[in-house]
Amino acid sequence: MRVTVRLPIVRTEAEAEPAPAPRRRHPDWLRVPMPGGDGYTALRRMVKELGLHTVCQSASCPNIGECWNHRALTIMILGDICTRSCRFCDVKTGRPLPVDEGEPARVATMLAALDLNHTVITSVDRDDLRDGGAGIWAETLRACHEAAPDMTIEVLVPDFKGALADVDTVLDAGPDVFAHNLETVPRLSREVRVQARYDRSFAVLRRARERGALVKTGLMLGLGEEPAEVREVIDQLAELELTILTLGQYLQPSKSHLPVHRYVHPDEFAEFKRQALAAGIVHVESGPLVRSSYHAEGQAELIRRLQADAGKIGFASLRPPPA
Q: How far, in whole angstroms, is CA 113 from its chain's centroid?
A: 23
> Taking a C-beta distance cutoff of 8 angstroms, is the pair 227, 190 a contact?
no
> Taking a C-beta distance cutoff of 8 angstroms, is the pair 61, 291 a contact?
yes
Give the integer Cα–Cα distance in Å for 55 and 57.
Answer: 5
Query: Is 293 flagged in the annotation as binding?
Result: yes
Query: Is 144 flagged in the annotation as binding?
Result: no
**SS in 3 state form for 192-257?**
HHCCCCHHHHHHHHHHHHHCCCEEEEEEEECCCCCHHHHHHHHHHHHHHCCCEEEEEECCCCCCCC
Query: Is 60 flagged in the annotation as binding?
Result: no
Give the integer Cα–Cα distance in Å for 64 and 72.
Answer: 9
Give the integer Cα–Cα distance in Å for 190 and 87.
Answer: 10
**SS in 3 state form for 28-72?**
HHHCCCCCCCHHHHHHHHHHHHCCCEEHHHHCCCCCHHHHHHCCC
> Taking a C-beta distance cutoff of 8 angstroms, is the pair 160, 196 a contact?
no
Query: How many Cβ atoms from other residues are within 10 Å of residue 38's Cβ?
Result: 8
Query: Rg of the Cα trace of the chain?
Result: 23
Give the integer Cα–Cα distance in Å for 140 and 102.
Answer: 10
Known binding positions: 56, 61, 67, 82, 86, 89, 293
Known binding positions for [4Fe-4S] cluster: 56, 61, 67, 82, 86, 89, 293
